[in-house]
Amino acid sequence: MSETGLSTLEFLDGNDAIMRAALDAGCTFFAGYPITPATSLLLAAIRDMPSVGGIAVQTEDEIAGISMCIAASMTGRKTMTATSGPGLSLYSENIGLAIMAEVPLIIVDSQRMGPATGGATTQGEGDIQFARWGSSGGYPLIVLAPRDLKSSYELTLHAFNLAERYRTPVLLLTSKELSLTRQSADTSRWQRPELINRKQFAGSLEEFLPYRVDDGEEVPAFLPFGAEAQVRFTTSIHGDEGIITNDIVKRRRKLEHLANKISWDKPGVSLYAADLYSEADTLIISYGLAAQASVDAARQLRGYGFRVSSLVLYTLWPVPEGIISEVLGEHKNIVVPEHNNGQYLRELERLSFEQNRFVAVQSFDGSLISPAEIIQAVSEEPPLLLGAAND
C-alpha cells in the first residue's frame, strides 16, 4: 500500500521494471535488435518511446543498435540498448569506442546460457567477466547486476546516473529468469534516486575543447552535436581537441584519465546490500539471481540458530573492494553461489585473507541454485574447499 492508501501492487517482469526506470530516468532513444530474452525491452521501447517524445529503432543488427545509441547520446540524449550474450559479443568493439570517446550509454545484457547461441530460453549468468573484459585495451566501465524487480528498477536509474556522471557506458547484467518471470511487486517501495545529468560546458564557446577535463572535474564538460561550438568526437587516441594524436604526453594523459575515472571508491559507484551478523564466521557473497537464494538461505540459517552474514553485490565492476575487503576480514568461511563456473570467485580470492576459506556453489546447466544447496554448503563441516572440490 502506498501512503495514500491506494494499492500499488503490480504484476510485471524484470524487463518491464527496467524500461519503466529508463523512461523515468529521461531516456529518449533506444536502438536494438531482437534477441531472447531481451526482446521485450525492444518491444516496450517501440511502444513507449513516442509517448515521451523519444525514438526507438529496430536496427539491422546489434552493431547498428549500439552505434545509433552512441551517436544519439552525443546529441545529448539519454540512450539505452538491450541484448543477450551473442549480441554483447557484437557490441564489443563499440563498447571500446564508448569508453574511449566517453559516451554515456546504458547497455542491458539479459544473460542466457552460453557459449555462443547457447540456450535462448535457458538461464545463465556467464557474462560476468566478459562484461568487464570484453573490449580491447582493458579500460574500465561500470557493470551493475539486479537480483529482483526492485533492484532492476533502481539499478537502471543508478545506471543512467553513473553513465551521465562519469561519461561512460554502464552495463546492466540481468538474466532470462529475471527478465521474463512475472512477479507481484509493490512498486511504491521502489526508491528513486535523484537524477543526475551530464555536466554541460558553460564557458565561452571559443574555448570549448571536447575532451578537456578541467581541474577538480571528473570528466570533460559536454556540448552536443549541433551546438554553436564545433564538437569533435573520435574513437582514436586523442588530446583535448578530439583529434588523433601521436603526442606521448597527450596520449598518456588521456589513457590515465580513462583508467582512473572509474574506480570503486568514486561517489555512487559501489552499490551493495550488506546484512552482517555480529560474530558470524560464515558469509555468503552473492549477486544476480543467486542473491535471491542466498538471502533466503541466510534467513533460514538464522532461523536454525546459525550466525551467517550476507553481502549482495549490485556493482560487479569496478569490484567494490572496500566493502569486500572489510567483510572478508571479518569472516572465515565465504560461500559464493554463482550461476556460472566461478567467475566472481576469482575476484574475491584476489582480495582474500589467510583465514578465508571459499566454498563455491555453482550451477551453469540452466537450473537455479536453491537455498537448500547453499544451506548444505554452509553447514558442511569442515567446509568444502574449492581447491579440494576441483581435484
Partner 1 sequence: MTRPATENVYIERQDYPFCPGCGHGLILNALGSALAKLNLPPKDVAIVTDIGCVGLSDAQLKVHSFHGLHGRSVAYASGLKLAQADLHVIVLMGDGGTGIGAGHILAAARRNMDISVLVFNNFNFGMTGGEHSATTFNTAMTTTTPTGNPEMPFDIAATVTANGASFVARKPSTDRDLFDVVAQAIATPGFSLVDIWELCTAYFVPANQFTGRMFREYAERSGMQMDILTDKRRATLGAYMQQLIETAPPRAQSIPLPISFRHSLKTRRGLITAGSAGGKVKSAVGLLARAAIMSGLAVNQKDDYPVTIKSGHSVSTLILDPQPILYNGVAQPDAVLLLTAAGLQRIGAQLASWPQDVQVYAETSLTLPPTKARVKRFDSRNLSRELGKENIALAVVASVLLEQAYFPLKALKTVIVKRMKVEYREQALAAVESVAEQSIFEQ
Restricting to residues 344-383, name those near partner 1 by CB under 8 A.
Answer: 367-368, 370-371
Residue closer to partner 1 (CB basis): 63 or 255:
63
**Contact, 153 vs 166, CB < 8 A?**
no
In whole angstroms, the minimum distance from the beta carbon of 166 to partner 1 comes to 21
Residue closer to partner 1 (CB basis): 51 or 278:
51
Q: Which grid coordinates belong to 325?
A: 575487503
Which residues, numbered 196-235, are part of the site for partner 1 (CB under 8 A)?
A: 224-235
Residue closer to partner 1 (CB basis): 94 or 270:
94
Place of cell 586523442: 238
Which neighbouring-strand residues pair with 308?
282
Which residues, numbered 23-82, are part of the site for partner 1 (CB under 8 A)?
A: 23, 29, 31, 36, 47-48, 50-55, 57, 59-61, 63-64, 67-72, 74-77, 79
Nearest CA among 172, 194, 197 for reference residue 17: 172
Which residues, numbered 168-187, are part of the site for partner 1 (CB under 8 A)?
A: 177, 180-184, 187
In whole angstroms, the minimum distance from the beta carbon of 278 to partner 1 comes to 23
Span of 133-141, 213-221, 292-300, 326-334 interacting with partner 1 by CB under 8 A: 292-300
Residue closer to partner 1 (CB basis): 245 or 325:
245
Residues that bind partner 1 (rule: CB under 8 A) add up to a total of 75
In whole angstroms, the minimum distance from the beta carbon of 164 to partner 1 comes to 16
Q: b/e string for 105-139 if b means 16 or more Cβ within 10 A?
A: bbbbbbbbbbeeebeeebbbbbbbebbbebbeeeb
Which residues, numbered 83-142, are part of the site for partner 1 (CB under 8 A)?
A: 93-94, 97, 120-121
Q: Cα dihedral angle (375, 379, 380, 383), rounded to 10 degrees?
A: 100
Sheet architecture: strand order including 272-275: 272-275, 308-313, 282-287, 333-338, 357-362
Residue closer to partner 1 (CB basis): 125 or 177:
177
Which residues, numbered 234-263, are part of the site for partner 1 (CB under 8 A)?
A: 234-236, 242-244
Cα–Cα distances (Å) from 180 to 112, 353, 371, in that order, read 11, 39, 21
Residue closer to partner 1 (CB basis): 112 or 357:
112
In whole angstroms, the minimum distance from the beta carbon of 235 to partner 1 comes to 5
- The whole-angstrom separation of Cα 120 and Cα 288 is 18
In whole angstroms, the minimum distance from the beta carbon of 336 to partner 1 comes to 17
Residue closer to partner 1 (CB basis): 73 or 270:
73
Place of cell 521502489: 190
Burial classification of residue 244, based on how many CB atoms lie within 10 Å of its CB (0-12 exposed, 13-18 middle, 19 or more buried): exposed
Residue closer to partner 1 (CB basis): 31 or 328:
31
Which residues, numbered 262-291, are part of the site for partner 1 (CB under 8 A)?
A: none
Q: Which helix (H) or strand (E) holds 109?
A: strand 105-111
135 phi, psi to nearest 5 deg: -130, 155
In whole angstroms, the minimum distance from the beta carbon of 233 to partner 1 comes to 5
Residue closer to partner 1 (CB basis): 148 or 164:
148
In whole angstroms, the minimum distance from the beta carbon of 85 to partner 1 comes to 16
Contacts of 199 (CB under 8 A, 6+ apart): 217, 219, 221, 222
Instruction: Based on the shown chain and the rule CB under 8 A, indicate whether residue 195 belongs to the binding site for partner 1.
Output: no
Which neighbouring-strand residues pair with 333?
282, 357
